[in-house]
Structure 1
Amino acid sequence: MKRPLLAVAAALLLIGGVAGSAAADAPAGQPVRPAAASVEVPSGVSAGVAVFDRQTGTFTEQLNSSTRFRSASIVKLLMALDYLWDRDPDYTVPAADRAWLEPMLRSSNDSAANNYWSDHGGTAIITRMVKNLELKDTAVPPAGKEGFWGYTALSARDTVTIYRYLLDSAPAPVRTFVMDNLRQSTRCASDKFDQHFGIAGAFSKPWAVKQGWSGTSFEKGTCGTASTATATGTSSPAPAAADVDVDLTRPALHSTGTVGAGDRSIVAVFTLHPVGTSYGKAYTDIGRLTRSLNVPGATRPAGWWYGTWSDHVNVRPNPNTGNPAITQLPAGVEVLVGCQARGEKVDVPPYSNDWWAYLPQYNGWISNIYINSPDNKMPDVKDC
């Protein structure tokens, strides 16, 4: 054992599994395998899901697909399309506009969205795009909250409609600009939150993603380097949920985009979590849900899913502490372990461990002392 039993118990409750086991979508001691065609929603989570196979023109998954969720940063897709709509003469995006559009799409920059919202009519942006794209469920933020673009109502099926427009109907320059930026999604968002959850964690590339998150219980982002950044635009104090038909109270985490060669599948996953849920727990739960989906054309990364414990666990470029951290993990998040190797001994008194886990999705290492496993060496993970 590597840490106090109370800490172990707390970590197990967070992950919702048995120490040393893989995630819910893979039996203990087994590598990740393709999941069956059914949505597995973690306990306490409310979800809206749609998966559309562009090759067959059919949905392979639908769960509450017309239910409205507050969009958080997914609405930035509509802002980008509003900017690009009917541009003359060749849809060229000037360098000055690329400077804010690209960070908004790749890194979910809130300042860019704030400026576009205030300078281009606010809710009128949504009204225009609902008409242009013939969206069925999308609606402007509630009365009194018109300034909060993250409170725009959006559904999974409308999100599929947005991506189908981009891929099948939009002028080629528009499609190329938006989708190329989504393919370059940065792991660390502008507000230092790790945004490669859901689609980006469940499937190997090629994928293109636009993510969203909103919740006053989410701790400050620590992705990349230590930071005091706070989320803006989407995590403002929420009005009482009874005032609107969209839940503005529970923490939200959404993952949308395309998966597979030729953008074969469109995936939209919207989730709400119990009040007080941490970012790491929500990140883990949307990952488990997304891995359960039937997504034609998807390739799933090889490895073993394990829970972690502690705050701000450093991901290192090598199995030692000699170099600066690449990034820090969301607290208590589940990670994909590719293999393990011996390295520098790490002490968390009264425990020590010289085994390290390689995380292929980060191209980095964490000490096994922070892995939820009964032994210093994970019993089912291969050596590097």
Structure 2
Amino acid sequence: MRILHISKYYYPFMGGVENICRYLVERMPMHNTSVLCFNDSNKNEESNINGHTVWRCATIFNIARQAISFSYPIMMRKALRLSDPDIIQYHWANPFPAFFLYFQIKKKQKLIIHWHMDIIRQWYLYWLVKPIESWLIRRAEYICVTSPQYREGSKPLRNVKSKVRIVPNAIDESKFRLNDSDKKRVSEIKAEYGNRPIVLFVGRHTKYKGLSYLIESETWIKQECGIVIAGSGPLTKSLKELVSRQNKKRIHFVGKLDDNELKCYLYAASVFAFPSITKNEAFGVALAEAMYCYTPCVTFTINGSGVNYVNLHNVTGLECPNRDSKAFGEAINLLLSDNALRTRFAQTAHDRVNQNFLIRNMIAKMESVYNEIEAKQPNLN
């Protein structure tokens, strides 16, 4: 089948949605796949990326993190004409292109919405987006969400659950294989923290990531450890000031890690702390990465989020009441104090990712959705 993906951006632009889109484009050679997306510059481009055509629309400016392109309708018309897709796979939430798709999609073309997230942060503009979102939902043959929890918790999808299919996000396992030099670096990282257990956080320093709760939880972690906060963001400065004010000497900020350093830190860690607090955290790819590296996790309960689908309470890690810093710290302390429990969770965490959240798993799920469409319309090629 010929499949056109409509994504916000695309490789080499790096982001969670962009990575998933790239896996679906490049790892499904049985289909003819291409991409329509925004450019991160004010220039229209057509290029071939690893054998797939990518049309990039010039971005003029952004409103509430939504790229705006005056050339989008022209580029969409060109992409639809040249790719002639049987299926258009629309990666949501990215509302701007949907307005033009309304006028340009052909009746015979099937629409799949890859529903990565509800619109949450831009709620104040939702009234403007809702009509086009509603049209997309009605027009879609199927809607792919990343977890059963997101299907059940999404208000826009509550009346169309018969259309919804579960296609979990995935990690690239090749990025997390250790060679001899990596093993040496893992030992070095452990030594840097006095060979004490490491509690690791990795992510962007924004409000929904809940880092202030992790910092507060340090009070209830009685076991010896080093708490390492990787990443950066708009709250980095205020978080460092909070740590300094409270004289929490066990907490260390290490900045953004490249892929190789990230891998080594994940293997060096004893516990992965993931204190996200809202549905802005739709799935938790970072969780799956840590789990694949045999690092059990501690999370908060987030209603409607896939976080609690990735990390299973008392199976791959521990789950705490939302925003309860004391419970979060005590859960970390339990894992640090019980080697047998931590070892058991480490193995089941790795096994869960290996069985559910690798690229091959996502591809198989996505192919089953395409097969459902083909079964309804056998003349698709």
Larger radius of gyration: 2
Q: 1 or 2 for the larger relative contact order (CA 8 Å, sep ≥6)?
A: 1
Query: Which bin holds the TM-score, normalised by the shorter protein?
Result: under 0.3
Which has the larger helix fraction? 2
TM-score scaled by length of structure 1: 0.25
TM-score scaled by length of structure 2: 0.25
